[in-house]
Structure 1
Amino acid sequence: MDNRAAVSAFLRSRREKITPEQAGLPSYGQRRVPGLRRGEVATLAGVSVEYYTRLERGNLKGVSDGVLDAIARALRLDDTERMHLYDLARAAGPAPAARARRQTRPAVRPSVARIVDGMPRMPAFVMNNRLDTLTANPLGRALYTEMYADPTCGANVARFAFLHPSAGRFYTDWERMARFAVGALRVEAGKHPHDRELTHLIGELSTRSDAFRVLWGSHDVHVFRESRKRLNHPLVGDLELDQETMSLPDESGLSVVVYSAPPGTASEDALRILADRSATAGPGR
């Protein structure tokens, strides 16, 4: 697979978001293109117009870290966008055989599964970077009961968000959640353009969801860390939960995701009720 189209679209989309005023450049007359011109980015980065044009046409192979840093500064990339640019550059070379074969879901270590099950009052999951939930504790399954009840979701949060009819009600901030999910998949696609399972997921969502297709075309990127989730559960109603995402310190690409409610809130009471109802459920692997 060739990632030149992704490189080109990402650089162009970032360039089009910056005005000359934001970049500290004078603006004369009517501009035919949104944002900066290629020549202006080249000037800001200290490279020739010809060289930057080559980069924006998708050829990042062999580009030095110094040039990538200069382009990132010129385009005013944030930390996530800068990381994505580096991922695209690393992926521009030939794919190692191990990377090309990367399509199976890594196993969840028993010790990690025990940690997830050992938090009965907090919804907890193990997820990969394709947003598959590989395991969940009973409360996690009870929280996402509609996703787990629908086998076509494949326990994948992105499929649930974009394809399940109840997702718009379940995610009170659906648009925000949708942007974050697409941004996380865009980051993963930059790191692993040869991941056939990821490519299949993106193709499926693009084909079946107009909303996903539009957001995917924005080339925005996102990394899940901490956030506030506002949910509307079919049994306990409105929930406002804090999400923490902790990456495992190995090569699996897995993360432990835990939701919690601030003490003394209605959301804490609602989680307690949901936990009591799910207490007899299995571990959910």
Structure 2
Amino acid sequence: MTMSSAFVRNGRMDVIAHNTLARAVHAPMFDSATTSEYGRANIARFHFLDPVARRFFVDWDAACHATVALLRAEAGREPHDRALRELIGELSTLSPEFRKQWAGHDVGIRHDGVKRLRHPEAGDLELTYQSLDLPLSDRAMHDLTIYTAEPGTRSEEQLRLLASWSAPQPEAPTGRTRDTG
């Protein structure tokens, strides 16, 4: 998928796999101090604990609401997940916005929509997304989310630009010749 941003996340909102374009599109999240020491981004931590997220997500309030609703659904599905409880505790302690929304007890899962981003290099992007549940067991889930731009739009041009910037570069020749003898 060269013109689609794709990532897989677990129920705790950890991005556990992504393609090159997803890394480029979500660069502010991957470059955030909220990303783990191992380079694993967490969507919820970025939304609520990094001030950059307020600029990056044009519809920050709606994105936060969706994030909390997804975490609430995961808490219902996996009530004994210690890492999830720790994440919710961390966000509740450090983010008044999270604390307020968590108290609302909203549960939701959305599989498609439009995400508007303000990328630091590419500018404003309006991307459609589709997600697909990837069940691992009776309760555990991962989710594959794919972002694309409508053909012929400025967002498609900007996505192409990000794709070209993030494309793997061919290795330079070493100058050594192969011994055939």
Shorter-chain TM range is 0.7 to 0.9
Cα separation, 1, equivalents of 2:122 and 2:167: 15
Q: TM-score, normalised by structure 1?
A: 0.56
CA deviations 1:36-76 (Å, max 9, x no partner) are xxxxxxxxxxxxxxxxxxxxxxxxxxxxxxxxxxxxxxxxx
Superposition TM-score, scaled by structure 2 size: 0.86
Give the AA of the match of 1:245.
S
- SS of residue paired to 2:76: helix
Q: Which has the higher contact order (CA 8 A, sep 6+)?
A: 2
Pairing 1:236-247 to 2, within 5 Å after superposition = 236-247=122-133
Gaps (5+ residues) in structure 1?
Answer: 1-118
Shift of 1:150: 2.5
Match in the other structure for 1:269: 157
Q: Matched residue pairs, number? A: 163
Cα pair distance change 1:165/1:191, threshold 3 Å: same
Report runs of 4+ in structure 1 exceeding 3 Å deviation: none
Cα RMSD of the aligned pairs, angstroms, is 1.2
Of Structure 1 and Structure 2, which has the larger fraction of its residues in strand?
A: 2
SS at match of 1:220: coil
Q: Distance in 2 between matches of 1:235 and 1:242?
A: 19
The counterpart of 2:50, out of the listed 140, 164, 176, is 164
Mapped pair 1:120 → 2:2: yes
Q: Secondary structure at the match of 1:238?
A: strand
Distance 2:110 2:87 in 1: 19
- The residue that corresponds to 1:205 in the other structure is 91
Report the structure, 1 or 2, having the larger helix content: 1
Q: Which runs of 5+ in 2 are unaligned?
A: 170-181
Q: Spell out, residue by residue over 1:91-142, the C-alpha distance to the aligned partner (whole angstroms, 9 max, x if none).
A: xxxxxxxxxxxxxxxxxxxxxxxxxxxx111110011111111011011001
Supply the distance in 2 between the matched residues of 1:157 and 1:250 (Cα, whole angstroms): 20
AA partner of residue 203 (structure 1): G
Task: Say which SS state the counterpart of residue 145 (structure 2) adopts.
Answer: strand
- 1:213 deviates by 0.3
Give how far 1:249 is off: 4.6
Deviation at 1:144, TM superposition (A): 1.1
Closer/same/farther in 2, CA of residues 249 and 192 from structure 1, 3 Å limit: closer
- 1:256 match: 144
Residue 196, structure 1, aligned to residue 82, structure 2: yes
Secondary structure at 2:91 match in 1: helix
Structure 2 Cα separation of the partners of residues 144 and 250 of structure 1: 25
Q: Secondary structure at the match of 2:98?
A: helix
Instruction: Please report how far the alpha carbon of residue 256 of structure 1 lies from its aligned counterpart in structure 2 after TM superposition.
Output: 1.0
Larger Cα Rg: Structure 1 or Structure 2? 1
Contact 2:34 2:49 in 1 (8 A): no
Aligned partner of 2:62 among 154, 176, 180? 176
